[in-house]
Chains A and B, each alone.
Chain A
Amino acid sequence: MTKNLCIKSFFFLLLGTIFFMLSSCEDCTFTSKNSTLIKVRFYPEAERINRRFRKASFTIDSVRTERGTVFRRRGANIDTLSLPINPTDRDNAYYVFFRRLNVTSTEQIIDTLQVSYNRQFSVISPNCGYDQKIDNLQIMLNKTTLKTATVFKDNLSVTDTLNIRIFF
């Protein structure tokens, strides 16, 4: 009985030690493909009708959010813009575009783009931080002179070059 007990105890200690030794600790090797930026491109309305989608310059002074400014350069000609989503836990955001018809125009036009999305958070580890996956992106044009806007890709990824097409 004593011998058996010794054998059993030995196996027990051996296995216990191996399990302890092989227990993997948390290490951070995580890289996320998810993005929190909405990539927007601007097209003349004629491109939508012709279905050619050649981007064109959009004259803009600034793009503002509720409390901050995404972009500010007076009379800038841009064709692509990255809009950061609302960092709080709300699942919608709106962006106000202060723009002009062209560089020489003095009249400022104000357009509002409202977006909503589904957002799912995940905690990776204390060292890695957290990740957020955004999908089901939807748009609504409010108080705008813009012709229309369409969602090209409704989930945000770091490899995206286009999520929303805006036609002016």
Chain B
Amino acid sequence: MIMYKHIGLLCIFCLCAFWQNSHAQNNRVSEINVSRDSLKNIPDSLKIKKPKKPFKFTIDGVRAGFDIVYPIFDNFVFPNNPFNPNDPLTKTYRVKQRYEASIDVGFAQNRFFAVFDYGYSKIERYRLGLPFTGFSYKNIGSYLRIGVDYNFMHNNFKDEAMFVGFRYAQAGFRHDFQYFGASEAWGFRPPRLVTLPDTAIIVDDRFIGNISESGLSASWVELVLGLKVNVWKQFFMGYTARIMIRSGIKGEDRLLANELPGFGSTNRTARVFFNYYLAYRLAFKRKYK
């Protein structure tokens, strides 16, 4: 079902992108047809072939930005639900802190962008409200993405872009798992009230297990599609939709990773996500004709 959603989503995106591209190209085609008609009567010997102008790999500008999807998701769409000792009826708790910054370097007259993304992720999951059993899982790490985008509207846009590209990403992280419960067969009994002559105390014999693993890493590749729009002066907004395919996770021993920083849940090897960036562009060179 989720796969169909992703495929549908990509189809919509591609249709939108190609509609806009073809809309721009139709205007250019009509201009070309007019010029072709006027050239029909000119002898071939007089026709001058216009050489293709090679583009130069000069740096046009640097754009630095940050993602706002993660803060919106983590604070408004699925708000954090930190552990509250005064609310014993709540069974599950979740805390997510994710941030991402992005830098792209535009070169070759707005044709290509070298992209560098860096992100930090801290995810905590708890199940504490049940009387006898529960766990906590913490996953902390960072990730780096590098890649190249090609702006297929470079003839139409000066500083803006509609692009496709690819990324290679690597994440490093650690995770901690603590679990507790009761097992009569092993003498770990649930909390109980023991009455003494002058007082009553709660005796808790539940077991606690701890697993911590560090130095884990994972890598993945991404196919990206996106848009960068100049909204005001040198400020840009834009999004990057990404299809991510991951390889194996290195360093897992006694605990399988539940999350990968920058990738998300490890339930699936392929995921679709998108980031929405606010950015500022520092232009180095402006020689468009």
**B235: interface (CB < 8 Å):** no
Least CB distance from A61 to B in Å reads 16
Question: Are the CB atoms of B126 and A19 closer together than 8 Å?
Answer: no
Among B73, B125, B186, point to the contact of A125 (Cβ < 8 A): B125
- Chain B min CB distance to A101 (Å): 25
Are A121 and B16 within 8 A (Cβ)? no
Q: Which of B72-111 contact A (CB under 8 A)?
A: 73, 77-78, 91-94
SS of A interface (majority): mixed
Total of A-B residue pairs, C-beta within 8 Å: 115
List the A side residues contacting B208 at CB < 8 Å: 88
Of B9, B126, B227, which is within 8 A of A18 by CB? Answer: B9
Identify which of residues 129-147 in chain A touch chain B, using a CB-to-CB cut-off of 8 Å. Answer: 129-130
Total count of chain A residues near the partner, CB < 8 A: 39
Query: Which residues 141-199 of B have a CB within 8 angstroms of A?
Result: 160, 177, 179, 181, 183-188
Interface residues of B (CB under 8 A from A): 2, 5-6, 9, 12-13, 16, 20, 73, 77-78, 91-94, 125-127, 133, 135, 137, 160, 177, 179, 181, 183-188, 207-211, 227, 229, 237-239, 241, 252-256, 258, 265, 274, 276
* Chain A interface residues toward B at CB < 8 A: 5, 7-9, 11-12, 14-16, 18-20, 22-26, 65-70, 84, 86-89, 119-127, 129-130
Q: List 12 A-B contacts (CB under 8 A).
A: A14-B16, A15-B16, A68-B185, A68-B188, A69-B184, A84-B186, A87-B181, A88-B209, A123-B125, A123-B177, A126-B127, A130-B179
